[in-house]
Amino acid sequence: MSNIPQIEREVDKIAEMIKDSQYLVVFTGAGISTESGLSDFRGKDGIWTRKEKGLPPKHGKHFDDVKPNKAHYAIKELQDMKLMKYLISQNVDNLHIESGIDSSLISELHGNYKLMKCMDCDTRFTRVELKWDRDIHGRGFRTEPQQANHPVCLECGGRIISAVVNFNDPMPEKEMKMSKKHAAKCDLMLVIGSSLSVQPASNFPRKAKKNGAKLIIINIDATPQDDLADIRVAHKAGKILPYIIEKLKKIL
């Protein structure tokens, strides 16, 4: 990495802030998964950014073909070190869960590509558990009509839909409630790889700051909330987060 002295100062400050915090909440966006090969959405060259400019999308890998990267595993280490109290994610790629994040410690605000859910009891299932074949049953989006051959909830018999939150879908109540609760409790929020331009998810860092929490933003591109950040780091998460974990292990 270039400009080592500046990076070291940033890492030292962030590690100290994490060490001193009593309630760290991590907030992630698509930028944390670009190093796994996925495209982002609202970055300078993101899918929606290019679409709005009338440019063809630059497609990355498919969700089925990617694995967690060093940034995901660094967050998992924060969990294992009992430093991270909760994780709020805008991502649907399942990489946090695959990295080893406890499902009780994460709110996936925009759902999870790997899961289906019941509209009645909100129980989540894998497509394998439901014997849901996308070639036969389709994607199962809320806006698509339910077919007679669609698998139903194994718990209550209710309608099964994709866990992914699409445009015009309501935000998931449980995930929003939990995110609001933990954002209000946190004294430090670490934002990683989010453009902070998609509402209502992007409101949580702003609300945390308003409630007195410190705010750290790690993102390659500028965000609308950079002026609120106590520390703003323009580096790839997969490079700087392991560096922060290494520093934490030395000072704890």
Q: List active site positions.
A: 110
Closest CA to 105 of 143, 71, 76, 65: 76
Q: CA 27 to CA 99: how far, in whole Å?
A: 16
Q: Look at the block and give the residue holding tokens 């962030």.
A: 14
Cα distances from 248 to residues 51, 81, 218, in angstroms, run: 41, 10, 17
- Report which secondary-structure segment, H or E, holds 83: none
Q: CA 238 to CA 36: how far, in whole Å?
A: 9
Conformational region of residue 9, where left means phi above 0, alpha means psi within -120 to 50, and beta covers everything else:
alpha
Q: Which two tokens stand for residue 26?
A: 């991590």
Closest CA to 131 of 110, 111, 152, 148: 152
Residue 152, classed as helix, strand or coil, is strand
Under a CB-based contact definition with an 8 Å cutoff, are residues 235 and 217 in contact? no
Q: How would you class 201 by CB atoms within 10 Å of its CB: exposed for 0-12, middle for 13-18, buried for 19 or more?
A: buried
